[in-house]
Chains A and B, each alone.
Chain A
Amino acid sequence: MGENIRTALSSIWGNKVRSLLTLLGVVIGVTSVTTLVAVGQGVKNDVSGLIEGLGTNIITVVSGKIDTSNSGNTNPANFVSGDILTQSDVTALQALPSLQSVSPIALVSGELKVGALTSQPVLFGTTSNIAQSFDIIKVDSGRIFKDTADDQKSIVLSSIAATTLFPGETAIGKQVTVGTEVLTVVGILSQPKSSSLFGNQLSTLSLVPFNEATVLNKGRVTISRMYAKAFDTQQVNDVKRQMHDVLLKAHGGEENFTVLTQDDILGIFSQFLNLATAMVSAIASISLVVGGIGIMNIMLVTVTERTREIGLRKAVGATQGAILIQFLTEAVVVTLVGGILGLLLSWVIAQIVAAQTPLQPQFTPQVIALAIGISIIIGAVFGLWPAMRAARKDPIEALRYE
């Protein structure tokens, strides 16, 4: 076996140009597959890190029915309508003893203005318990507004908005215009731990009282989603079921909402990501097949070139099996070299991607094992036929071959 490997390496080294051209298909195939998987892995890590950062006991209620077991059946129209979730749903959920807090979220469009300075926020209308329901929201200075009418004209700014609108001075106590409303800054949020891919959204999050959001939305009460927090991290799925039942009853049996745990959100995302990875990998695997055919071709040439050697080896006692293993080993060594080159190349590409884009490809042991595994399989599959031809050569004919 050691000799077979040495022979293979020396024949690769002896025919550098030929070997390089032969290996190119395998190198390209392995490079594309491993790069894709590494990128996918990176995105997955990023998203699960983000979701875990939010806290695993957070449960989200959105309007519209999402089938979490099969994401293909979702009606996008459901997400648009804003009047499915109501204030009474919030009250009904708040009655559940397993929930620590429930916060409705109303989306408000509009920009923040102070004199000539403006800032584009993600603006949530919500209740004072939002910091309990949604861990990622933390007050850096000042406070969250109260739910009382005298505190309705308040706003909590993102740290980005605060520094943009009030450069070099404290924002708390100052006034900000949103649409036609003038609101007093009562607090500033700390910059949330951001994800490289999705970080920007929550970093501009500013909050207004829920009733003020209704005013800003011209009197329409729209709850686009709710964040709830379960007391017990272990019971999240039970709590989810309870919430589902409560809401189903409140909606008269019509399931026009979805209750999602963080796992569900991650699941939907993974499903999508896996599908995307599978599709692109299928395309990349075409180059692996082409590479494999190249290997088969070169191995057939090698077997013909070394016909006398095969004859000699058989004369001195090599069995068919020994010859088969010799040439199969050679093919696998060749593809393995290609696989390792491909892995190195994809590592280089990953470094470039990491430096130039928000994607952070992850070279997990699985990715490396995948690259090695693919190359071994390609070598074994496409090397088999040439190796069988070598093994079946008649020693007398082979020794006579010129």
Chain B
Amino acid sequence: MSIISLTNVSKNYLLDTVEVRVLKDVNISIKKGEMVAIMGPSGSGKSTLMNMIGLLDRPTSGTLRLDGKEIRLTMSDKALAHLRSEKIGFVFQSFNLLPRLTALANVMMPASYAGTASGVAKEKAIEILGRVGLKDRVTHRPTEMSGGERQRVAIARALINNPEIILADEPTGNLDSKSGKEVMQVLRDLNNEGKTIIIITHDQTIADYCSRTVRILDGAVEERHG
């Protein structure tokens, strides 16, 4: 049973007066528990695809299903926000941690939007930080941590609402190779625990961690297994 399925999904943008077709009749199906790399050069449409899967964007045409639920063009921002909060954990290339907050507060932040009581969220955040190897970094601020540690805080943040899907956009892009390996190991461990992991990358060595690679070029998808 696929957790994400895109059927004939197209996305057009209006650039000045010209309509640009960024995605062309894309068909992808990702099963629960898969670890998938989406690869493509810049401008290929992979960011748009990621935004679509992450429910930050809506398709112009075609059908997007998340966990069997069809995402309609008419869905309210509020409904999409709730779905994001419940189903998807984001990991970004530039970490996007809030510099004023401690690691713990950063990890707890999405829980407040999911309506989790702060006491419960705190306990859970400490537990998750321990799981990604940051037990003794709980009260540190992002500026007091290395890049690899920051990205692990970001992964912990993605996990706080216990989503089905982790969506990582170039998660190792700002890291040295050692930290990059550590972060990929964390993601692989999560996959082994049953999370669906989707990684957007242009780096073949990252794609090699995944069981499946979806290549995108000029808005169209070609797939290769292995």
Count how many chain A residues have C-beta atoms less than 8 Å from C-beta atoms of the other chain. Answer: 23
Chain B interface residue count: which class? 20 to 34
Q: Does A321 contact B (CB under 8 A)?
A: yes
Q: Does B136 contact A (CB under 8 A)?
A: no
B121 to chain A, nearest CB (A): 11
Q: With a CB–CB cut-off of 8 A, which chain B residues contact A11?
A: 100
Which single residue of chain A is at the shortest CB-CB distance from B157?
A: A316
Q: With a CB–CB cut-off of 8 A, which chain B residues contact A10?
A: 100
Q: With a CB–CB cut-off of 8 A, which chain A residues contact B84?
A: 315-317
Which single residue of chain B is at the shortest CB-CB distance from A4?
A: B112
Is the CB–CB distance between B112 and A320 below 8 Å?
no
Q: With a CB–CB cut-off of 8 A, which chain B residues contact A313?
A: 109, 113
A-facing residues in B109-157 (Cβ within 8 Å): 109-110, 112-114, 118, 157
| Stretch binding the partner chain, chosen from B90-98, B171-179, B217-225 | B90-98
Number of A-B contacts (CB under 8 A): 59
Which single residue of chain A is at the shortest CB-CB distance from B82?
A: A317
Bound: A10/B118 CA distance, A = 20
Which single residue of chain A is at the shortest CB-CB distance from B118?
A: A2
Is the CB–CB distance between A318 and B113 below 8 Å?
yes
Q: Does B161 contact A (CB under 8 A)?
A: yes
Q: With a CB–CB cut-off of 8 A, which chain A residues contact B114?
A: 317
Q: Does B54 contact A (CB under 8 A)?
A: yes
Is the CB–CB distance between B113 and A319 below 8 Å?
yes
- Of A2, A309, A317, A321, the residue contacting B110 (CB under 8 A) is A317
Bound: A308/B98 CA distance, A = 9
B-facing residues in A7-23 (Cβ within 8 Å): 7, 10-11, 14
Q: With a CB–CB cut-off of 8 A, which chain B residues contact A314?
A: 56, 81
Which single residue of chain B is at the shortest CB-CB distance from A7?
A: B100
Is the CB–CB distance between B56 and A322 below 8 Å?
no
Bound: A22/B180 CA distance, A = 44
Is the CB–CB distance between A319 and B78 below 8 Å?
yes
Identify the interface centre among B51, B85, B112: most chain A CB within 10 Å of its CB. Answer: B112
Q: Does B77 contact A (CB under 8 A)?
A: yes
Q: With a CB–CB cut-off of 8 A, which chain A residues contact B118?
A: 2
- Of B77, B78, B105, B110, the residue contacting A316 (CB under 8 A) is B110
Say yes or no: A309-B113 contact (C-beta < 8 A), given A319-B82, A321-B78.
Answer: no
Say yes or no: A396-B57 contact (C-beta < 8 A), given A312-B96, A317-B84, A320-B77.
Answer: yes
Q: Which residues of A contact B (CB under 8 A)?
A: 2-3, 7, 10-11, 14, 308-309, 311-322, 395-396, 399
9 intermolecular pairs with C-beta atoms under 8 Å apart? A10-B100, A315-B84, A315-B90, A316-B109, A317-B84, A317-B86, A319-B77, A320-B81, A399-B96
Task: Please list the 4 inter-chain residue pairs (A to B) with the smallest Cβ-Cβ separation, ordered nearest first.
Answer: A317-B85, A316-B110, A317-B113, A319-B81
